Amino acid sequence: MSWKFFLYDWGGLNIALFQAINAGTPAALEPLVWLFSLVGSYWTAPLMLLSLWWWSKSATTSARGTAVRHRLIGFSVAFLLALLVATILNLWFDFPRPPAVLGDMVRVIGNKELHYSLPSGHATYAALVVGALWPLMGRRGRIGLVLYATWVGWSRIAAGMHFPADVLAGWALGWICTALVGWLLPLAAPVWQSARLTSAWVWFTVAASAGMTDQLTKFAIIRMFAYGKQVEITPFFNLVHVLNSGAAFSFLANAGGWQRYFFITLGLVVSAWLGRMLCQQRPRLEAMGYSLILGGALGNVADRMLRGQVVDFLDFHWRLAHWPAFNLADVSITLGAALLVMQILIQGKEVSAEKIERHNHL
């Protein structure tokens, strides 16, 4: 007997529990199944972030606002970590979903899916939401959070999407990521505070980490997937292995070949300029933006120098409309640019406030 028989199949109990819940759910509860599958989806993460941000701004006390902001930061980091780990586990184990195991015996509510059952992404996300909101809630709120996570897990079993073991694994993953981030962020806070203006080495470390993470993910894709292979992760997201001779999001990909040397030169020039900017005193948000752009630029330059083309593997789509495939270097560059825009907006508000205050004094 294998470890899977004891830890996942539970000696047959995993399938027995699934059949009892899936077949025993009345048809009248199908709207609830759909509802909790919706509110337990990763797609609601932007709404969660927006709600926490609004809560932090509208808090009646500064201490409450600070507490909510800390949960916002923790949820954001834990969400990205859990998404990465869940994707790796799905691909690594590749456990079949209930319809692939039990066939027509499964009642499926929604699109039938056959692969990547462990862990349940919905259960993982529900645990992340509970972990983020738990310290901010009273007794009744915490009871509501437990019920929310329970109903999300039930909905995935009732919909025929996951076995109970997948749901438990998702809850565990979300809790572990939340706890890990909660432990690491206080340790990173002193470094972040000390890097407010002068610690250029911190920002170069961020840039190097972004570039190395990008290269490691590309190496994993090259080793795991043949060129052109496409693996469906969700109904809207695929992992692919494609090569892009152009810039971010396939810009100039169909040029005649000259673009390789042009983008190598451009990337090195931009990287040198960004490095010079990071050696100067910069506000933290601006420095973080420059470092993320630097890391992403170096990641794609390394691809062009080593492979001649850039490896892309993230494919988001809606039905037959596909956004051009991209990679973590493109994500890093985009996030860095967004941080620079935020810094400009913040500086604009500060300047306006100073002008108003100066005018009032006059």
Q: Give the pLDDT confidence score for residue 16 in this predicted structure.
A: 94
* Residue 9 annotated as catalytic: no
Q: Give the pLDDT confidence score for residue 191 in this predicted structure.
A: 56
- Candidates 119, 294, 327; CA nearest to 220 is 327
What are 209-251's pLDDT values in tens digits? 888 888 888 888 887 788 888 888 777 888 899 988 665 555 5
Q: How far, in whole angstroms, is CA 6 from its chain's centroid?
A: 31
- Tell me the H-state helices in the chain: 3-7, 13-24, 30-39, 45-58, 62-93, 98-102, 121-133, 139-158, 164-194, 200-224, 259-278, 284-306, 328-361
Residue 208 phi, psi dihedral angles, 5° rounding: -65, -40
Annotated active-site residue in 166, 303, 315, 330 = 330
Annotated active-site residue in 166, 214, 312, 315 = 312
* Residue 166 annotated as catalytic: no
Q: Give the pLDDT confidence score for residue 197 in this predicted structure.
A: 46
**Residues of the chain below pLDDT 70:** 1-3, 188-199, 245-259, 349-362
Q: Give the pLDDT confidence score for residue 162 in this predicted structure.
A: 94
Name the amino acid, one letter, at 330. Answer: D
Q: Give the pLDDT confidence score for residue 354 in this predicted structure.
A: 59
Q: Give the pLDDT confidence score for residue 351 in this predicted structure.
A: 57
Q: Give the pLDDT confidence score for residue 7 in this predicted structure.
A: 80
Domains of the chain: 1-193 (1.20.144), 195-362 (no CATH)
Q: Give the pLDDT confidence score for residue 161 in this predicted structure.
A: 93
Q: Give the pLDDT confidence score for residue 254 in this predicted structure.
A: 53
